[in-house]
Structure 1
Amino acid sequence: MLDSELKERPARSPQLPKYNDLHCRANSLRGSVDEHKASYAPVESARRVLLLLQALNAQRIATIGSLHQVTGLSKSTIVRMLETLISEGYVVRDNFVGGYSVTSKVVSLASGFSGAPLLIEAARSRAVALTNDIKWPVSLGTLRDGHILVSFTTAPISPWSYPFPVLHRFLDLELTAMGQCYLAFCDDEERALLLNALTQQRRGQGKPFDAARVLRDLRVTRKRGYARVGGPRRVFDFVAVPILDGQRCSACMGVGFYRTAVASDRIVESVIQPMLETASAIKVDMRNLNSSGY
């Protein structure tokens, strides 16, 4: 475990943020982290509908009065919005108990928000802050089809970025730091399945694969808390730490740096320790998002 279990935060009533407090920009340049300038003023009617849906979702059965109390919207506005949501199939009125509730159709609103998207929401600002601190690009990867898929990277904002594309790359489980990290920190059953698949894959490629050696190396990786791939013949060194969801490894965070740019006796202090602290914070952020209903 990278940190101790924390108590969940109490739920808060949804509130519309002030326009000046918003951090949104739909047409930001790729890699930009300037989130403080909105392109246009928010569409107030859309904000109110989302606020109402959030309040509805938090209550098993809601009344006009309870929605008015939570949202602060006028009762006439609430009635019009509810009738619109009913016509679109997202809300139903329960005549037996005299209230409103969401329907199963609201699940479709989150159909694309799981796995990597949830991870990125929880980790994006942390990864950006880490790059601002250590300067090197930070990448996030999740398991996909027996490889690690890099689903997010801060390479566009790093002053010392890689001379090759990183985003959407598939990384080998045996030969890369993020792959080794995932193998070391996933559960025993998943690891056995992945190593068996690797054995079959290497055999099909006509390459040797020493599963016993790999397991020994993974035990070392797990004990020290991070994976590292590099060496005197490599231009780059790569290190990776796990991002845990409870006790399950949900993703890995990797950083690569020029081997000659970081003294070997400072790698843990200047690169790995900040990564471990960031991964620990991301774990807490993911717990908070999950407790919000995602």
Structure 2
Amino acid sequence: MPSFEPVRAILRGLDVLRVISEAGPITATDIAKQVMLPQPSVIRVLETLISAGYVYRIEGSVTYGVTARTLALSRGFNATSRLVQLATPLIEALRSEIGWPSNLATFDQGAMTIAYTNRSAHGMSIPGRLGARLPVFATGVGIVYLAHLSGDALTAAFAQTKAAVSRWDTNPEILASLDERLEAARRNGYAFAEEAYLDELYHSQIWAVAVPIIVDGKVIAALSSLVLRSAGSRNRILGQILPPLRRTSKAISESLAADAGAPESPPKRTRRG
């Protein structure tokens, strides 16, 4: 909760700027209807935004649009950083529920990059490093990510992965089963990391299962949980951890979608000048 009451003038200005950005070119009358402010107040806000260089009035009309300067407002935004910020408490809650650590991974230039991990923080002796670049075709996070791409996005991801020339992403045995694994991931909604890859890296200590994180129909990341093979039957443990893993993925998706939407409305204003 904020320490102070919001500055209403700033909220009004942001509301007006958002409406012009989303619906412009747009008239002051229509802006006033959408932000629930009297038109004279909207005109004052518009004149301020024009003076600041964020809005312009289209010549010969009564409509307004945003200028290129509004692009500068998002330059400091880092999508992965925001993803991690929103996902971290949810992933930590998942760890408390299932007893196993997780990796959050995003696709970056032909590799799956670990954006967040709580392996070392919770005592798993297997190394896990923030920023580590994992192969795409050999990992569960890579397979579920690819499986939920389509069209040009899938073609581009394949091209970037092949250009990265990872030994695991060019392994003939892994490539031979790739289509089958992608189809299984689409059908089941989850994917396992290749055992040969895990055996070489982790000396047969773990297995891993991953699910996609999808926002507005677009896959933006993948979430995996890692389990010691000595813990028991994979099918039994999968039945225990997969539902919470999916719930966490859904919660992250919903949090990101809400974060990208319109800000929470301030208390309703009366229509006074």
- TM-score computed with the length of structure 1 as normaliser: 0.62
| Deviation at residue 240 of structure 1 after TM alignment | 0.7
Alignment of structure 1 residues 1-294 onto 2, 5 Å: 22=1, 38=2, 40-41=3-4, 44=7, 45-60=9-24, 61-63=26-28, 67=31, 70-71=34-35, 78-94=42-58, 96-111=60-75, 113=77, 116=80, 127=91, 129-153=93-117, 155=118, 160=122, 162-163=124-125, 164-187=127-150, 189-190=155-156, 193=159, 196-197=162-163, 200-202=165-167, 209-210=172-173, 211-229=175-193, 233-244=203-214, 249-261=219-231, 264-280=234-250, 282=252
Gaps of 5+ in 1: 1-21, 23-37
2: distance between equivalents of 1:238 and 1:289?
29
| Structure with greater helix share of residues | 2
1: distance between equivalents of 2:21 and 2:258?
17
2: distance between equivalents of 1:135 and 1:52?
47
Tell me the number of residue pairs that the alignment of Structure 1 and Structure 2 aligns.
249
- Helix, strand or coil: the match of 2:224? strand
1: distance between equivalents of 2:229 and 2:66?
55
The CA RMSD over aligned residues, in Å, is 4.2
Partner amino acid, structure 2, of 1:269: G
CA contact (8 A) 1:135 1:159 kept: no
- Helix, strand or coil: the match of 1:52? helix
CA contact (8 A) 1:62 1:100 kept: yes
CA contact (8 A) 2:135 2:166 kept: no
Q: Give the direction of change, closer, same or farther, for the CA distance of 1:77–1:259 in structure 2 (3 Å limit).
A: farther
2: distance between equivalents of 1:241 and 1:220?
12
CA contact (8 A) 2:144 2:211 kept: yes
1: distance between equivalents of 2:183 and 2:19?
47
2: distance between equivalents of 1:215 and 1:125?
34
Partner amino acid, structure 2, of 1:224: N
| Deviation at residue 239 of structure 1 after TM alignment | 1.3
Partner amino acid, structure 1, of 2:172: F
Among all aligned residue pairs of Structure 1 and Structure 2, give the percentage whose two residues are the same amino acid. 25
Q: Give the direction of change, closer, same or farther, for the CA distance of 1:259–1:104 in structure 2 (3 Å limit).
A: same
Q: Give the direction of change, closer, same or farther, for the CA distance of 1:57–1:248 in structure 2 (3 Å limit).
A: closer
- TM-score computed with the length of structure 2 as normaliser: 0.66
2: distance between equivalents of 1:238 and 1:78?
55
